[in-house]
């Protein structure tokens, strides 16, 4: 069976010194991670350092955000071609912090998703409900709506080269984790939704869980039928805890 993916989203946390220590630890421990593709998502200024350090490893590199345009007058943005020069093979699109803090809507998320695929890079489409939406019973409709917005723009077949990350907003950085059953329910609904529009892509789609994943919660989460790995924030900043999550992959 295909490997799980364990992805570490460092967010805006790094210095040359912490990156050096973290990458050193990951290089030393990565061989013990047998059943997961590890991916790290450094902030842009540390891409070169990360590429050099990870050159002789199987750890993949991703970026946390990208500009959908090719090049030109987009002050402050980073293009896919630039990311590609640094060995980037995954891009996070639609992370809830981008949606909430930078007003990225479904249309922009879909553009980034398509631009990423056009460069032969794999988008990781992040979806998830707020606590308020969950309490109103809207979880499945919010999450499948976020997926459908990308299907409308890119087509269901595009999910052959994509990963989905289900990250309940209320579980991100809060220490609250969706229970394995809560997560499985949503993962199953995502797969079932894709099954209706793109039956050939549904079974093989990797759906990661994110939201306060730790080494102790990972094992039970990863044992769920429709959970294919994790998108890890806080616990990806230390090599030991990130590697332990990688080792929880089956």
What residues line the site for ligand PGA (CB under 6 A)?
Answer: 9, 167, 172-173, 210-213, 231-235
C-beta closer to ligand PGA: residue 94 or 210: 210
CB atoms < 10 A from the CB of 207, how many? 23
Is 167 a catalytic site residue? yes
| Contacts of 192 by beta carbon, 8 Å cutoff, 6+ apart | 202
- In the chain the first and final C-alpha atoms are separated, in Å, by 10
Q: How far is the CB of 7 from ligand PGA (least distance, A)?
A: 8
Q: How far is the CB of 211 from ligand PGA (least distance, A)?
A: 5
Sign of CA dihedral 183, 186, 187, 188: positive
C-beta closer to ligand PGA: residue 151 or 171: 171
Nearest partner of 93 among 35, 154, 184, 50, judged by Cα: 154
Q: Which of 53, 95, 129, 193 is catalytic?
A: 95
Q: Which of 53, 97, 129, 167 is catalytic?
A: 167
| Contacts of 216 by beta carbon, 8 Å cutoff, 6+ apart | none
C-beta closer to ligand PGA: residue 71 or 216: 216
C-beta closer to ligand PGA: residue 99 or 191: 99
Distances (CA, A) of 228 to 7, 42, 55, 146: 11, 22, 25, 19
Q: How far is the CB of 210 from ligand PGA (least distance, A)?
A: 4
Q: How far is the CB of 116 from ligand PGA (least distance, A)?
A: 17
Is 193 a catalytic site residue? no
Positions marked catalytic: 95, 167
């Amino acid at each position: 069976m295909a490997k799980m993916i364990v992805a570490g989203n460092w967010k805006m946390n790094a210095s040359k010194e912490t990156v050096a220590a973290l990458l050193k630890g990951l290089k030393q421990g990565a061989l013990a991670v047998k059943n997961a593709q590890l991916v790290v998502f450094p902030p842009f200024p540390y891409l070169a350092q990360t590429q050099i350090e990870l050159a002789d490893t199987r750890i993949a590199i991703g970026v946390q955000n990208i500009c959908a345009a090719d090049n030109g007058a987009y002050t402050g943005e980073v293009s896919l071609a630039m990311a590609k020069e640094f060995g980037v093979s995954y891009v996070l699109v639609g992370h809830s912090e981008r949606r909430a803090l930078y007003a990225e809507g479904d249309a922009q998320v879909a553009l980034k998703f398509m631009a990423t695929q056009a460069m032969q890079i794999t988008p990781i489409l992040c979806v998830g409900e707020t606590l308020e939406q969950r309490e109103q019973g809207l979880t499945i409709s919010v999450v499948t709506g976020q997926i459908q917005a990308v299907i409308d723009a890119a087509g269901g077949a595009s999910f052959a080269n994509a990963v989905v990350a289900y990250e309940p907003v209320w579980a991100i950085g809060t220490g609250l984790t969706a229970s394995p059953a809560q997560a499985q329910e949503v993962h199953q609904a995502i797969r079932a939704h894709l099954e209706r529009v793109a039956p050939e892509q549904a079974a093989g789609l990797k759906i990661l869980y994110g939201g306060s994943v730790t080494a102790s919660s990972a094992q039970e989460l990863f044992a769920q039928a429709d959970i294919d790995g994790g998108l890890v924030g806080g616990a990806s900043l230390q090599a030991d805890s990130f590697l332990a999550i990688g080792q929880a992959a089956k």
